[in-house]
Chains A and B, each alone.
Chain A
Amino acid sequence: MAEQDPKRKLSWLAKIAPGVRKMVSRHTGFAGNLWLKDPNTGEMVYQPDLEQALWVTPSGSHMRIGPAQRFAYTFDEGLHERLPAPESPDDPLKFTDDKPYRERLTAARKATGANDAVAIATGRIGGTQTVVLVQNFAFMGGSLGTAAGEGFIAAAEAAVARRAPLVVFTAAGGARMQEGALSLMQMARTTLAIQTLKKAHLPYIVVLTDPTTGGVTASYAMLGDIHLAEPGALIGFAGRRVIEQTIRQTLPPGFQRSEFLLEKGMIDKVVHRKDLPAVLASILGVLTAGRATAA
């Protein structure tokens, strides 16, 4: 299938699309198109193929995935137990831009089925009991607000309680503006949570995924014992547009991508999604065998 011209296939599908789409959505609960665009090449990719390939396109684009898939791909046999994220006050500032923040929250909750942008689970990776936190870009750009901060703190506490490592998959545009300075405070609060892991000599591994920017990068995403990244992920502090406006020049291709950060010494390894469980298993296996953690 991958050999055929995807554009031809699309036009064929387009002709009968309205009916087919309705049928597909009725039978599989799938609301959208079965064909997705490769963000790099613009090529159309057949979704079942993409799922088979862990949402990595034939050209190697690592598409954004949510917590359910991430947990399934990361834990041994996909087996895991979800841990609840603590409750936190919604909309502490009564914030309204074009739309009230409350409405945005409600819409994001409806669309994702989750309460906020982070999900936590525990299970084994290469046999090592581990707590994993996944940031969901689909929930308001993965943004770090009070709920996500509390989630991070809870994940660190769960790791300490189980004497287990913490692995965090980051994905966020940055802090959640609708919570003002309270979101800024999450940079300090998550950093405090990391100190409890350090004190307990428990590994804290960060896997940077596309995109990780702003206050998230400038706090817990850059404080790991080890930093891994998926290929081609956008990782940086300031946004591209802001930098270009500041320095009045166009940024080079590949700027702020995983490979760029690897070259600049900010991450340890760029790892293909299919290899992540094995790489994590090796790292966790060695670190937890050390005298400090093994106690």
Chain B
Amino acid sequence: MIDQRHYLDFERPVADLEARIEELSDPLATDDLEAPAVEMKALRQAAQEIRARIYRRLDPWQKTQVARHPDRPHFSQYVAGLIEDFVELRGDRKFADDQAIIGGLGRFRGQGVVVMGHEKGDDTASRVEHNFGMARPEGYRKSVRLMDLAEQFGLPVLSFVDTAGAYPGLDAEERGQSEAIARSTERGLTLRTPFIATITGEGGSGGAIALAAANKVLILEHSIYSVISPEGCASILWRDSARAKDAAEAMKITAQDLLKLKVVDRIVPEPVGGAHSDPAATVKAVGDAIEEELKALTLLSSDQLVEQRAARFYAIGRAGSGAI
């Protein structure tokens, strides 16, 4: 497990320790069978402590890297861990199926639901298949279709947001990327059933809000949600994409800042060392939070759900509504 890990720059101290543990765990490397066991125990404990210390104090740019970590649980893992009887529904009925957004029907802890989310893929082939989680118009038209279906049959919608942004390509523009995003946001806002969005990784701009115009917006502890990527912001405002760290800080993209701004409603804590250090625990924690929120929303009528969602978004950024 350890040798497969991707270490981030700031995880260097942990990486060094874990490399040493790896060395010691090789029985051929030493003759003394007692000493390594003692040392390893101490090293493991030290590594865990250092990891915890690092993750307690991640800056916004470090969080950006955690949010983009290749081992961070993706949509497919949330579906596998939380949705029984999942039936994937494909296609926008207009042009194509876009695998950057996946969706379908299933049961969430007994309750029939429609689920949808960005999928980034987890190896080269699947990343290409899912276009790195960057959807084309067909992805957003599929999400509209799924929300229509949810409303028709009175099912709640659970979305999982994890995208660098909508795909900036020629074909996407030709087929109306802007209109598709706008319609998906609109469909979320008008939905007459409960809608819970969870930002599990990167919430990148319009491509993210198209799946997050929800009654409740949850976010993982080290996820980010922003109007433009830190690199994009830096290249425009500082004319230097290397200033991404500064942009990440200035834009207030962390879960903690977004909660203060009321852009998100609830932070789901991650295991020590981030979601990627224990995907199963992360998926379960997200499920527990969704279950709680869903229970509360189920008490509201369709009219109340639409009103609550409108009030939620109207309140954001209004004078006296608690800016940082």
B partners with A = yes
Give residues in A with beta carbon < 8 Å to B: 87-89, 92-98, 146, 149-150, 153, 175, 177-185, 187-189, 191-192, 194-195, 214-215, 217-223, 236-239, 242-243, 246-247, 249, 251, 255-256, 264-266
Given contacts A188-B213, A191-B213, A237-B173, contact A182 B178 (CB under 8 A): no
Give residues 285-324 of B contacting A (CB, 8 Å): 310, 313-314, 316-319, 323-324
* In the complex, B196 has a CB within 8 A of chain A: no
Q: B176: which A residues are within 8 A, CB to CB?
A: 222, 264-266
Interface size, B (range): 35 or more
Q: A223: which B residues are within 8 A, CB to CB?
A: 182-183, 186
| Contact among A188, A221, A266 for B185, CB-based, below 8 A | A188
Q: B189: which A residues are within 8 A, CB to CB?
A: 188, 191-192, 195
* In the complex, B147 has a CB within 8 A of chain A: no
Give residues 199-247 of B contacting A (CB, 8 Å): 205-206, 208-210, 213, 225-228, 232-233, 236-238, 246-247
Q: Is A181 a contact of B181 with CB atoms below 8 Å?
A: no
Q: Is A182 a contact of B209 with CB atoms below 8 Å?
A: no
CA distance A231 to B179 in the complex (A): 20
Q: B310: which A residues are within 8 A, CB to CB?
A: 192, 195
Per-residue 0/1 for B84-128: is the Cβ within 8 Å of any A Cβ (1 yes, 0 no)?
000000000000000000000000000000000000000000000
CB distance from B205 to the nearest CB of A (A): 6
17 contacts between A and B (CB under 8 A): A92-B323, A97-B238, A150-B318, A181-B258, A182-B261, A182-B316, A184-B226, A185-B313, A189-B316, A192-B189, A192-B310, A195-B186, A195-B310, A219-B181, A236-B178, A246-B168, A266-B176
Q: B252: which A residues are within 8 A, CB to CB?
A: 93, 180-181
Q: Is A243 a contact of B173 with CB atoms below 8 Å?
A: yes
Which residue of chain B has the shortest Cβ distance to A192 in the bound complex? B310
Which residue of chain A has the shortest Cβ distance to B232 in the bound complex? A242
Q: B20: which A residues are within 8 A, CB to CB?
A: none
CB distance from B120 to the nearest CB of A (A): 16
Q: Which 4 pairs of residues, A with B, have the shortest CB-CB distance?
A: A238-B168, A217-B178, A97-B237, A92-B323
Most chain B CB within a 10 A radius of its CB, from A97, A218, A247, A265: A218
Q: Is A89 a contact of B316 with CB atoms below 8 Å?
A: no
CB distance from B173 to the nearest CB of A (A): 5
Q: Is A175 a contact of B228 with CB atoms below 8 Å?
A: yes
CA distance A238 to B228 in the complex (A): 11
Q: B280: which A residues are within 8 A, CB to CB?
A: none
Q: Is A218 a contact of B178 with CB atoms below 8 Å?
A: yes
Q: Is A243 a contact of B170 with CB atoms below 8 Å?
A: yes
Given contacts A92-B323, A246-B168, contact A222 B178 (CB under 8 A): yes
Q: A88: which B residues are within 8 A, CB to CB?
A: 317-319
CA distance A214 to B186 in the complex (A): 17
Q: Is A221 a contact of B236 with CB atoms below 8 Å?
A: no
Q: Is A181 a contact of B261 with CB atoms below 8 Å?
A: yes
Most chain B CB within a 10 A radius of its CB, from A150, A178, A191: A191
Which residue of chain A has the shortest Cβ distance to B206 in the bound complex? A218
Most chain A CB within a 10 A radius of its CB, from B174, B182, B205, B323: B182
CB distance from B311 to the nearest CB of A (A): 10
CA distance A97 to B168 in the complex (A): 25
Q: Is B174 a contact of A215 with CB atoms below 8 Å?
A: no
Q: Is B205 a contact of A184 with CB atoms below 8 Å?
A: yes
Q: Is A89 a contact of B251 with CB atoms below 8 Å?
A: no
Q: Is B182 a contact of A181 with CB atoms below 8 Å?
A: no
Q: Is B168 a contact of A242 with CB atoms below 8 Å?
A: yes
* In the complex, B169 has a CB within 8 A of chain A: yes
Q: A256: which B residues are within 8 A, CB to CB?
A: 173
Q: A195-B186, A266-B179 are in contact. List 6 more A-B contacts (CB 8 A).
A: A178-B250, A179-B227, A180-B251, A218-B181, A238-B166, A247-B170
CB distance from A112 to the nearest CB of B (A): 20
* In the complex, B190 has a CB within 8 A of chain A: yes
Q: A221: which B residues are within 8 A, CB to CB?
A: 178, 182
Given contacts A87-B319, A215-B227, A219-B185, contact A185 B263 (CB under 8 A): yes
Q: A239: which B residues are within 8 A, CB to CB?
A: 168
Q: A237: which B residues are within 8 A, CB to CB?
A: 166, 168, 172-173, 177-178, 181, 206
CB distance from B203 to the nearest CB of A (A): 8
| Contact among A92, A242, A265 for B261, CB-based, below 8 A | A92
Which residue of chain A has the shortest Cβ distance to B243 in the bound complex? A97
Q: Is B227 a contact of A220 with CB atoms below 8 Å?
A: no
CA distance A266 to B246 in the complex (A): 37
CA distance A96 to B316 in the complex (A): 21
| Contact among B170, B172, B178, B206 for A255, CB-based, below 8 A | B170
* In the complex, B253 has a CB within 8 A of chain A: yes
| Contact among B179, B247, B253, B317 for A92, CB-based, below 8 A | B317
Which residue of chain B has the shortest Cβ distance to A146 in the bound complex? B317
Which residue of chain A has the shortest Cβ distance to B174 in the bound complex? A264
Q: Is B213 a contact of A184 with CB atoms below 8 Å?
A: no
